[in-house]
C-alpha cells in the first residue's frame, strides 16, 4: 500500500473510529457511536482508578494496569473475533456485532475497589450482578440502545455463541487478562497465542467451537492460566497483602458501627456505616449505583494512609503494615492445618509484646484458595474435528486436559512471632 492510499485509509478510519495505542496490541480502535459514548461515560471512566490485579504490584511492581485497560483490550479482541467468525460465514449482523462489543466492554463495570479483593467485604454483592445493574441503568440513559447487549450478557439471545464470547472458557475476557497480566507482571509463562486461538474459533450448532488444528494453542492457554493463578494471582505475598486489606476494612467497619470516630472519604464512609446487599441494589438501584460509582482504589488508599495514625491499635497496626509493605507471613498447605498448630500460633500471638492487644482474635487468618483452569461450571470447550463432528475437548486432547480443581489451604499471621513457632512452611 503506497503512502497516499495509506493516508486516505487512516483518514477514513479516523472518521469512524477513535484510535488508541495499547501497550499489548499496538494500535486499536473504538468505533464512534454508542460504544465510544459508553467509554466516555463517567461510570466507565471510573475503571481508570481500579487496578486490574489488586495488590499484585507488591510482588510485581509493573502490575499497575487497570480495569479500564482490560476492558478496552477485551473490546479489541471481540472485534477481532467477530471479524474472524464472519470471514468463515458465521452470520453476525451489524446490530449483533455492536451489541456483543458493548457486552464485553461493560462486563467488568461493576467491579469495586481493588477488583476481587473487597468483593463481599465492603459490599455484599457480586461484581457481575452490579455490572448488569449498571448496564440496565445505562440502557435507560441511552434510550434502550443496550437492550440486545443485555440479552447477550445474560445468555438470553438466540445466538448462544455470542454469549460464550463474553463469558465462557474461551471468552475474550480471559484472552485479554491473561495476555495483559503477563505483560505487566513480566511473567512470560502467561503469554498465550490469543491471535491463533481467535482465528481457530468457529460456530457449530449455535455453539462456539475451536477447530481441531487449534487444540494445542488452547492447551497452552489452559496451562498458562493455571500457572498464572499460582505464580501471580495467588502468590503467597499477594494473598497476604489482600488478606490484610480485608482485615483493615473489617476492623474499620467494626469501629464505625460502634460509633468510634473514623475519617473516610464520603463514598467509603457510607459503605462502612451501611451494610449493602444485592437486594438493596435492586430496591434502590440508581441511588446506590451512584454512591458505588464514586468509590475506587484512591478512596481506600487515602483512608488506609490516614488510619495509620488512628487511636485504635489494631487498625493502625494493620494500616501501617499495609502501606509500608510490612506484610503478614503466609503458609500454604495441601491439607488443612492441624488445630494444634493453629493453637500454638494463637498462643504466640497472645504472648507477643510487640503486637497490640486483641491480635490473637484478629490476626490469625485461616482460609483456602482454589484454581480451576478448566471447569465444568461453564460449558466445556467443544472441538470441531477434521471430520466435521463436535466433541468435548477433554475427550480428544492428548495432553490430558480434564476438569479439575486445585485447592490449597493457607494461614496468615504477623511475622513478629515466627521465631516462636516450630514447623510450618519456611
Question: Is 17 strand, coil or helix?
Answer: strand
* Separation between Cα atoms, residue 234 and residue 225, nearest integer Å: 12
Give, for all 426 residues of the chain, the pLDDT tens digit.
Answer: 566 666 555 555 557 889 999 999 999 999 999 999 999 999 999 999 999 999 999 999 999 999 999 999 999 999 999 999 999 999 999 999 999 999 999 999 999 999 888 888 999 999 999 999 999 999 999 999 999 999 999 999 999 999 999 999 999 999 999 999 999 999 998 888 999 999 999 999 999 999 999 999 998 999 899 899 999 999 999 999 999 999 999 999 999 999 999 999 999 999 999 999 999 999 999 999 999 999 999 999 999 999 999 999 999 999 999 999 999 999 999 999 999 999 999 999 999 999 999 999 999 999 999 887 666 666 889 999 999 999 988 787 665 565 677 889 999 999 998 766 654 443
Domain boundaries, the chain: 3-235+382-402
**Predicted local confidence at residue 371, as pLDDT:** 80
DSSP string, 215-275: HHHHHHHHHHHHHHIIIIIT-HHHHHHHHHHHHHHHHHHHHHHTT------HHHHHHHHS-
Query: Are residues 201 and 190 in contact, defined by beta-carbon separation less than 8 angstroms?
Result: no
CATH class for the region spanning 3-235+382-402: mainly alpha
* Cα Rg of the chain, angstroms: 24
**Predicted local confidence at residue 173, as pLDDT:** 97
Query: Are residues 261 and 229 in contact, defined by beta-carbon separation less than 8 angstroms?
Result: no
**Predicted local confidence at residue 394, as pLDDT:** 79
**Predicted local confidence at residue 424, as pLDDT:** 45
**Predicted local confidence at residue 11, as pLDDT:** 57
Strand-strand pairing, 365-374 and 329-333: unpaired
Place of cell 471447569: 375
At 172, give phi and psi (nearest 5°): -75, -20
* Separation between Cα atoms, residue 385 and residue 399, nearest integer Å: 16
* Beta strands in 16-64, from DSSP E residues, in sequence order: 17-22, 26-31
Amino acid at each position: 500500500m503506497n503512502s497516499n492510499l495509506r493516508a486516505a485509509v487512516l483518514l477514513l478510519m479516523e472518521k469512524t473510529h477513535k484510535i488508541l495505542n495499547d501497550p499489548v496490541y499496538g494500535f486499536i480502535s473504538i468505533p464512534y457511536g454508542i460504544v465510544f459514548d459508553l467509554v466516555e461515560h463517567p461510570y466507565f471512566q471510573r475503571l481508570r482508578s481500579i487496578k486490574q490485579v489488586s495488590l499484585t504490584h507488591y510482588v510485581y511492581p509493573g502490575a499497575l494496569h487497570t480495569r479500564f485497560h482490560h476492558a478496552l483490550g477485551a473490546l479489541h479482541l471481540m472485534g477481532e473475533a467477530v471479524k474472524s467468525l464472519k470471514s468463515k460465514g458465521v452470520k453476525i449482523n451489524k446490530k449483533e456485532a455492536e451489541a456483543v462489543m458493548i457486552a464485553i466492554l461493560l462486563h467488568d463495570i461493576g467491579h469495586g475497589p481493588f477488583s476481587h479483593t473487597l468483593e463481599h467485604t465492603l459490599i455484599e454483592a457480586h461484581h457481575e450482578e452490579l455490572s448488569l445493574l449498571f448496564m440496565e441503568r445505562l440502557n435507560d440513559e441511552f434510550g434502550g440502545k443496550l437492550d440486545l447487549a443485555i440479552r447477550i450478557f445474560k445468555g438470553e439471545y438466540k445466538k448462544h455463541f455470542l454469549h460464550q464470547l463474553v463469558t465462557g472458557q474461551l471468552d475474550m475476557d480471559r484472552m485479554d487478562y491473561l495476555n495483559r497480566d503477563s505483560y505487566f507482571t513480566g511473567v512470560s509463562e502467561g503469554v498465550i497465542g490469543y491471535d491463533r486461538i481467535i482465528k481457530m474459533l468457529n460456530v457449530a450448532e449455535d455453539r462456539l467451537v475451536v477447530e481441531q488444528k487449534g487444540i494445542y494453542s488452547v492447551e497452552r492457554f489452559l496451562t498458562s492460566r493455571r500457572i498464572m493463578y499460582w505464580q501471580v494471582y495467588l502468590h503467597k505475598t499477594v494473598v497476604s497483602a489482600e488478606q490484610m486489606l480485608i482485615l483493615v476494612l473489617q476492623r474499620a467497619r467494626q469501629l464505625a458501627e460502634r460509633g468510634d470516630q473514623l475519617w473516610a472519604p464520603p463514598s467509603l464512609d457510607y459503605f462502612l456505616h451501611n451494610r449493602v446487599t444485592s437486594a438493596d441494589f435492586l430496591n434502590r438501584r440508581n441511588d446506590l449505583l451512584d454512591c458505588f460509582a464514586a468509590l475506587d482504589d484512591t478512596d481506600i488508599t487515602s483512608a488506609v494512609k490516614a488510619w495509620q495514625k488512628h487511636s485504635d491499635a489494631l487498625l493502625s497496626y494493620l494500616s501501617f503494615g499495609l502501606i509500608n509493605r510490612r506484610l503478614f507471613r503466609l503458609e500454604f498447605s495441601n491439607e488443612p492445618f492441624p488445630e494444634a498448630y493453629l493453637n500454638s500460633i494463637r498462643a504466640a500471638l497472645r504472648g507477643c509484646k510487640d503486637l497490640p492487644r486483641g491480635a490473637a482474635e484478629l490476626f490469625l487468618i485461616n482460609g483456602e484458595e482454589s484454581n480451576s483452569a478448566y471447569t465444568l461450571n461453564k460449558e466445556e470447550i467443544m472441538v470441531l474435528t477434521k471430520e466435521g463432528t463436535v466433541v468435548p475437548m477433554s475427550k480428544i486432547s492428548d495432553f490430558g486436559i480434564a476438569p479439575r480443581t486445585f485447592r490449597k489451604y493457607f494461614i496468615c499471621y504477623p511475622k513478629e512471632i515466627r521465631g516462636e513457632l516450630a514447623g510450618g512452611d519456611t
